[in-house]
Amino acid sequence: MVKRALWVLAVALLAAGCGSGSGSSSGGSGGVQNGGTLRAGIPDDPDHLDTGISYAVEGWELLEATNNGLLTFKKASGPAGSEVVPDIATAMPAVTDGGLTYTFHVHPGVRFSPPVNRAVKPSDFQYAIERLFHVGSPGVGFYTIIQGANAYAAHRAAHISGIVANDKAMTIAFHLTHPDGAFLDIMAMPFAFAVPAGMPYKDISTDPQWRVATGPYMVKTYVPKQEIVLVRNPNFTQWSPNSPNGHLNGVNIQIGVTPEQAVNETIDGQLDWYMEAVPADRLSELRARYPSQVHMYPRNNDTYFSMNERLAPFNKLAVRQAVNYAIDRNALVKLFGGQGTPTETVIPPSFGSAYHEPNLYPHDVAKAKQLIQQAGAVGAPVQIWTTNADPAPKAAQYLASVLGSIGLKVTGVRTIDDSVYWDTLLSEKTDPQIAFNHFDQDYPEGEDFIDTLLNGEHIVNVGNNDVSNTDDPALNAMIDRTKRMPLGAARNAMWAKIDNQFMQRDAGWAPFMHLDEPKFVSASLHGLVFTGSYFELMPEMWLAK
Amino acid sequence: MVGLVIVLFAISVLVFVIFNVIPGGDPALRLAGRHPTQENIRQIRKDWGFDRPLYVQYGDMMERLFIKRDLISYQDQTPVLPTIERGIPRTLALAVGAAVIWLVTGVLIGVLSAIHQGRFLDRILTVLALAGVSIPIFWLGAVLLYLLTFRYHSWAVFSWVPPGGYVPFATSPVDWAEHLILPWIVLAVVSIGFYARVVRASMLEVMNADYVRTARAKGLSARRVLTRHTLRTCLIPVVTLFGLDFGAAVGGTVILIEPIFGIEGVGQYAQESVAHLDLPPLMALTLYGAFFVVIANTIVDVAYVWLDPRTRIE
Amino acid sequence: MTVEAVAVPGGRGGFGLAWRRLRRNPAAIISAAILIAILLICFPLAPLFVDLACHHGPNDQNIQGYIHQGGHRIPVVGLDGTPVGPGLRSCYMLGADANGRDLAVRILYGGRISLFVGITSALLCVFLALILGLVGGYRGGFVDSVIGRLLDLIWSFPVYLLAVALATTLAVGGLSVGPLHVSSSSLAIPIVVIAVVFVPYVARPIRGQVLALRRMEFVEAAVATGAGPVRIMLRELLPNIASITLVMLTLIVANNILVEAALSFLGVGVPVLTPSWGNIIEQGYSSIVTAPALTVAPGIAIMVTVVALNVLGDALRDALDPHARIRIR
C-alpha cells in the first residue's frame, strides 16, 4: 500500500563535537507535559489531506490526528494496535442477520472544526462513503461489499441502498452483500471517516472551507511543497478514551526536508521528528551515539520476490521452491541494513496469532540446484524486475547471482523508477517473471494480505494485485470461508494455516523479510506510540521542555 | 520566428509520441492506486481523457499548457506551471552565478596561458583547465558535498558549508549565497576549461597577427597592446561560446547538478519528471528548455555576425 | 564546445609533420602513455589479476563471506550492511560494495565497458556526422536545409532529457527494426543513444569545413572532369577533413565516456548486471557516507582517462595545425 518517497541525498553533517544532541532523551521531570509545538519534516507533499483520497502512510498519519470514523484501530503499539475499537460510534456495532447487518450508534457530542462547526451526524458517514465513488478514490474497492454500492457506482441509484442513516435516532446501519469479518477493519480506515455532507467531489486538501477536522488537531495551513501547520481544533472535546486529547499545541511540518538533512537537523536540535525512516547509511552511527533517540518499529510489511506462475520457468512448483531454498534470507536482511526480521511468511508478526513461521526452506543451495535439474529448467532465461528505490536494486542483483548459481540464466535486471514500478507490476501485459515486491498493510488483518494478494478469484488484467497469479481452487475456497468468520483467534488461526500452506504447496513467493521502520527523533520528544496503520500517533506525542 | 515555432512543435510531438509509446507507466493505473477496481480505472481514463485518440490528447495538453495554463502532473496531481515558475529563479541563480565565475576565471587563465605560451605555467594551466572539463559534473558535486559537509566538515574552513537545499535571496542573502557557492563552483569548474582554451587560442592568433606585431614594433608597450588591441578581438569567440554554453547549461547540466544539491529548480523538476515518466511537466519543461536553447543560439548567431564583420561575407 | 574550421586544405604531407610535432610534445606523450596503460590494464591484465590475485570476478557476490587480515576474520559485509573498506590486501584492495563484490576488480572490468561504449559510440557518431556533414555541405540547397533542420531539432532538445527519454523508451521493450532485434539489456542502446544525441555537435564543424572546401579550385576542377558527387566526396573532400575529424573523434570519445557516466547515474545507461564506471558510481552513491570508495574510485578512473583523452586531443589539434587555424570555439 504505502507509496514512499525514498530520496537519498547522500550527505551528512556531523555535529561539530561541541554540545548539541547529548544522547539522553529520558529527560523531563518525570511525567507527560502538555504544550509545545512539534517541529517536523517530510521530504515531499503527503499524497492528499483528503480522507476520501489519501492512500499513503504520510497522509494517514496526519489524518489520524485530525479526523475520526465510527471505528478506529486501537492506539497502542504491537499486536494490540491491530484491534478495532469504537471511535465516534458509542460501542462496537451490533452484528445481525448472520453477519450481514452492522448497526452503529453515533456519539452526539462530536463536532466538526470551523468553518463547518456543527455536530457530526450519521448521514455524514453515508456521504463520506458515497463520495468515494465520485472522487475516484483508491479505496473504493473496499466498500463494494455494501449492498447497492455497485449500482450506485454505475449511476443507477441515488444513494447506496445498503446504508441506512437515521439522523434523528443517531444510528447508521450497513447491509452487506455477504458476511465479511474484516468489515470492521474497513470501517476504521480513513476512507470511512466522517466528512460534512456536501463536501465537493474533488480533492479538498488545499481547501480550508472543507478541510475540516473532528479530532484534537486541525490543518490550519497547507502550502504544497512548503509547509503544513496543525493547530488545536477549538471544537474538540474528548468523547472517548480511544480518541485521546493530545498533548502538543501544534505541529509545524516543513516540506522538502531530505532524509540526510533531517538527521543533521535533529542532531542540531532544530528538528524534533521526521516522517520518513532514517537513511540506512546513518543508522549504525546514530544507534551508537544517540541510542535512546533511535527507535526500530515493526511495520506491517512483507518483503518478497514474487514469481509469475503463468510464465516459465516459474510455472513449475519445483523451480519456485528452488528459489526459496537458494536465497539466504540473512544476507538479504544485511542488504537492508539489518532493518528487518528474516521470514518465510506472508503475514507480518504484529498480526498476532495470524502469524506463524513454517520453517520450510532452510538455506540449501545444493537442494535448489537439484530441484532445478529435476524440473528440467537448467539454462532457462529469467529477467528480474526491481524498483530503483534503494536497496531493492541490490536485493535484485543478489537474486541474480543466486539464480545464476543454481542453474538459471539471468538475462538482466530491469530497474524501473519507483513511481511507475508498482503500476507496471499490476498489469498482466507487463507482468515480469520474477520481481522485487513488498506489501504494506491497508488494515491490520490477515484478509488484507491473503485475500488481496493470493486469492485467484481476484485476478484481473489491469490492476491485478495477485502478482504471482496464484489460483489454487482449494486455497481460494479456504480464503473465502475464512473471510466470513468474525474477527478473533479462530479466524487468525485460519490465516496462519493458509499462509503456511501457500508457502508449502504453491510457493508463488520467496518472502524474505518483514521490514522495520527505523526512526530518529530529538531528545525532547516522548510519547511515541507506533501502529502499523498510522505509524507514530501525533496525539500521543509530547515534548519535554 | 517561424523556425522557432516549427522546432518547438516538432519537439512537443516527439516528446508526446515517445512517452505514449513506452509500455508500462500507465498513468491511469498510477492515479488509481493500489486497490483499483476496473470501474475506477475506466473512470479515470474517462476523466483524464486517456481513452481519446492521441491527437486529441495532444491538442488538449497543448491547450492546457499554453491557453488555460492549468496543466496537472500525473505523479501527484499538482499544477505544473506554478512549480516551474517557482523553480526558474533558482535555476537562474545557479546558472548566472556559475557563469560569472567561469567567465572571469576562464578569461584570466586563458590570458595567462597565452602570455606564457609554451612555458611551464602554460602547460600546467592547460592540464588544469582540461582536467576540469574531464570531471563528471555530478560526481564532482557528490564527492565535494560528501567531503565538505561530512568528512572534513569539522575543519573551520568548511564548517559553514550547508548540506544542500536552497534559501531564497529575499529570505537571507547570506544563506542564499552560502547554499549556492558549492554548486556554483562545481558548475564553473567543468566549464572554465573551454573558455581558457578558447581565449588562449584566440589571443595567440591575434598576438601573432600582423597588425599587433606592427604595434609592438612601433614601440607600444605589451600591456597596451594587450588591452587595447588583442583582448577585444579575443572576446568574440568567448561571447559566442558563452551563449551556447549558457543555453546548454540551463537546458542540460542543471538536470544533473540540482538533484545532488537539492536546489529544486527546473533542472531537478525535469530530472524527477523524466524518472517518474510524468508527461505533463516533462512536456512543459522540454518546451521551455528548447525555447531557451533556440533563443540562446539565435542571439549568439546575431551577436557573432555583429561582432565579427568577416562573417558577413558569405 | 564546437570546433569550427577555416578552409585549409591540409595536403597529404600534413600527417607526417603532425606526427613529428606530436612526438615532441611531452603532454601528448604522457597522455598517450596513460591511455595505453589504461587499455592494457583493463583488457589483458584484468583477467590475469583475477586469476592470480583474488579469484573472484566483477560480479561474484559475497555478502556472507569473510576475509582474513592481520590474523582477524573480518566480514566482507557487516550485519548492518556496511561493506569492508580499502586495505592493503590482494582481495578487496579497494574494499567491497554492499553485495560483497570486489571494487577493484569491478573498476578494471568496468573500464572495459566504459571504454567500449565511449569508443564505439564515438565512431558511430562521427560516422553519421561525416555522412550528414558531407552530403549537406556538398549538396547545399534543399538537402542541406533539411539536414540542418533535423540536426537543429536534435540539438535543441535539452541533451539529457532527450537521451533519457530515448534510452527509457528503448530499454523498456528493446528495439526491433525489421530482422534486427536488440534486447533491452544490450549495450547497443546506450551506444546508439549517445551517438545520435551528439551527431549535430560533430556534424556542424564538418559541414562548415566542407562548405568552405567546396568552393576551392581543386573541387571545381574535379567537377569539371565529370566526377560524380560520391567520388568527389570520398576522394577530394574526405581526406581534407580528416584532420578535423580526427580531433573531433578524440574529443567525442572523451565526451561520451562522461555522458555514459551521467546516463548511468540517471539510471538509463549501461544495464546494471554489467559493471561500467558510470553504474558503479550510481550504485555506490547511496552509501557514500559509509563506503566512499565506491563513489570516489570509479570517478577518478573516469577523470584520468578523460583528461588523457582531452590533452591528447588538444595536442593533436596543435600538431595538425599549429597556427590555430582550426579554432576550438
SS (H, E, C) C162-180: HHHHHHHHHHHHCEEECCE
Which of A301-315, B51-65, B295-309 shows the lowest mean pLDDT across its residues?
B295-309
Instruction: Give the closest residue to C256 by CA, choosing from C121, C83, C110.
Output: C121
Q: Model confidence over A260-281: pLDDT tens digits?
A: 889 988 988 899 999 999 887 7
- Would an 8 Å CB–CB cutoff place B241 in contact with chain C? yes
- Would an 8 Å CB–CB cutoff place C274 in contact with chain A? no
- Of C15 and C314, the one with more pLDDT: C314
Calculate the alpha carbon distances from C245 to A389, B130, B241, C317 in Å: 42, 20, 20, 10
- Of A220 and B231, the one with more pLDDT: A220
Mean pLDDT of chain B: 80
For A193, the enclosing helix (H) or strand (E) is none
pLDDT at A112: 95
The percent of residues above 90 in pLDDT, for chain A, comes to 72
- Would an 8 Å CB–CB cutoff place B240 in contact with chain C? yes
pLDDT at A92: 95
Mean pLDDT of chain C: 83
Interface pTM (ipTM) of the complex?
0.86
Instruction: Give the closest residue to A393 by CA, choosing from A412, A380, A407.
Output: A412
Specify which residues A223 forms β-bridges with: A227
Say if CB A532 and CB A238 are below 8 A apart. no
C interface test, pick of A328, A397, A402 with most C CB neighbours within 10 Å = A397
* pLDDT exceeds 60 at position C13: no
pLDDT band at A447 (very low <50, low <70, confident <90, very high): very high
The percent of residues above 70 in pLDDT, for chain C, comes to 88
- The residue assigned the cell 565538505 is B148
pLDDT band at B19 (very low <50, low <70, confident <90, very high): confident
Q: Do A430 and B34 touch (CB under 8 A)?
A: no
Q: How confident is the model over C222-239, as a mean pLDDT?
A: 78
The percent of residues above 70 in pLDDT, for chain B, comes to 81
* pLDDT exceeds 60 at position A85: yes
Q: Chain C 126-165, CB below 8 Å of chain B: which residues?
A: 149, 152-153, 155-161, 164-165
Range picked from A476-490, B227-241, B250-264 for highest mean pLDDT = A476-490
- A-to-B residue pairs, Cβ atoms closer than 8 angstroms: 133
Say if CB A456 and CB A444 are below 8 A apart. no
Peptide bond preceding A391: is omega within 30 degrees of 0, i.e. cis?
A: yes
Q: How confident is the model over A492-518, as a mean pLDDT?
A: 95
Q: Do B274 and C164 touch (CB under 8 A)?
A: yes
Which of A452-456, B76-80, B191-195, B233-237 shows the lowest mean pLDDT across its residues?
B233-237
pLDDT band at A39 (very low <50, low <70, confident <90, very high): very high
| Chain B contact set for A9 (CB, 8 A) | 163-164, 259-260, 262
Calculate the alpha carbon distances from B232 to B117, B195, B313 in Å: 19, 15, 21
Say if CB A77 and CB A65 are below 8 A apart. no
Q: Which CATH superfamily is domain C103-320 in?
A: MetI-like (1.10.3720.10)
pLDDT at B1: 65
Q: How confident is the model over B121-127, as a mean pLDDT?
A: 83
Q: Do A138 and B23 touch (CB under 8 A)?
A: no
- Would an 8 Å CB–CB cutoff place A388 in contact with chain C? yes
* pLDDT exceeds 80 at position B243: no
Cα(A393)–Cα(A413) distance, integer angstroms? 8
Q: Model confidence over A51-79: pLDDT tens digits?
A: 999 988 899 999 999 999 999 999 998 88
Cα(A387)–Cα(B29) distance, integer angstroms? 16
Range picked from A402-411, B1-10, C195-204 for highest mean pLDDT = A402-411
pLDDT band at A496 (very low <50, low <70, confident <90, very high): very high
The percent of residues above 90 in pLDDT, for chain B, comes to 8
SS (H, E, C) chain B: CHHHHHHHHHHHHHHHHHHHHCCCCCHHHHHHCCCCCHHHHHHHHHHHCCCCCHHHHHHHHHHHHHHCCCCECCCCCCEHHHHHHHHHHHHHHHHHHHHHHHHHHHHHHHHHHHHCCCCHHHHHHHHHHHHHHCCCHHHHHHHHHHHHHHHCCCCCCCCCCCCCCCCCCCCCHHHHHHHHHHHHHHHHHHHHHHHHHHHHHHHHHHHCCHHHHHHHHCCCCHHHHHHHHHHHHHHHHHHHHHHHHHHHHHHHHHHHHHHHHCCCCHHHHHHHHHHCCCHHHHHHHHHHHHHHHHHHHHHHHHHHHHHCHHHHCC
List the single residue in C27, C152, C161 with the smallest CB-CB distance to B274. C161
Say if CB A463 and CB A426 are below 8 A apart. yes
3-state secondary structure of C137: helix
Q: Model confidence over C60-82: pLDDT tens digits?
A: 999 999 988 878 888 999 888 88
* pLDDT exceeds 80 at position C232: no
Say if CB C74 and CB C84 are below 8 A apart. yes
- A-to-C residue pairs, Cβ atoms closer than 8 angstroms: 86
Which of A106-115, A436-445, A504-513, B285-294 shows the lowest mean pLDDT across its residues?
B285-294
Say if CB C261 and CB B139 are below 8 A apart. yes
Q: How confident is the model over A220-243, as a mean pLDDT?
A: 93
Nearest CA of chain A to the CA of C274: how many Å? 9
Nearest CA of chain C to the CA of A464: how many Å? 20
- Of A187 and B212, the one with more pLDDT: A187
Q: Do A331 and C286 touch (CB under 8 A)?
A: no
For chain C, domain boundaries: 103-320
- The residue assigned the cell 517473471 is A433
- Of B6 and C92, the one with more pLDDT: C92
Calculate the alpha carbon distances from C138 to C133, C213, C215, C218, C326 in Å: 8, 9, 10, 14, 20
pLDDT band at A443 (very low <50, low <70, confident <90, very high): very high
- Would an 8 Å CB–CB cutoff place B207 in contact with chain C? no
- Cα Rg of chain B (Å, integer): 24
pLDDT at A428: 79
Q: How confident is the model over B189-209, as a mean pLDDT?
A: 78
pLDDT at C229: 77
pLDDT at A212: 94
Specify which residues A86 forms β-bridges with: A71
* pLDDT exceeds 70 at position C176: no
Count of residues making up chain C:
329
pLDDT at B77: 77
Q: Model confidence over B147-167: pLDDT tens digits?
A: 988 888 878 888 888 877 788
- Would an 8 Å CB–CB cutoff place A261 in contact with chain B? yes
Q: How confident is the model over B19-23, as a mean pLDDT?
A: 70
* pLDDT exceeds 70 at position B46: yes
Q: Model confidence over A316-368: pLDDT tens digits?
A: 999 999 999 999 999 999 999 888 999 999 999 989 899 999 999 999 999 99
pLDDT band at C181 (very low <50, low <70, confident <90, very high): low
Cα(A277)–Cα(C233) distance, integer angstroms? 63
Q: How confident is the model over B99-111, as a mean pLDDT?
A: 88
List the single residue in C81, C288, C290 with the smallest CB-CB distance to A335. C81
| Chain A contact set for B164 (CB, 8 A) | 9, 11, 258, 260-261
- Maximum CA pair distance of chain A? 71
DSSP C77: B
Cα(B269)–Cα(C205) distance, integer angstroms? 33
- Of C12 and C26, the one with more pLDDT: C26
* pLDDT exceeds 70 at position C135: yes
DSSP A107: P
Cα(B222)–Cα(A453) distance, integer angstroms? 82
Nearest CA of chain B to the CA of C159: how many Å? 6
Exposed, middle or buried by CB within 10 Å (0-12, 13-18, 19+), for B67? Answer: exposed
3-state secondary structure of A527: coil
pLDDT at B34: 63
- Would an 8 Å CB–CB cutoff place C79 in contact with chain B? no
Q: How confident is the model over C120-136, as a mean pLDDT?
A: 92
Q: How confident is the model over A422-442, as a mean pLDDT?
A: 87
A interface test, pick of C56, C77, C80, C280 with most A CB neighbours within 10 Å = C80
Mean pLDDT of chain A: 89
Nearest CA of chain C to the CA of A34: how many Å? 37
Q: Do C168 and B138 touch (CB under 8 A)?
A: no
pLDDT band at A207 (very low <50, low <70, confident <90, very high): very high
Neighbouring residues of B143: CB distance < 8 A, sequence distance ≥ 6? C288, C292, C295, C296, C299
pLDDT at C259: 92
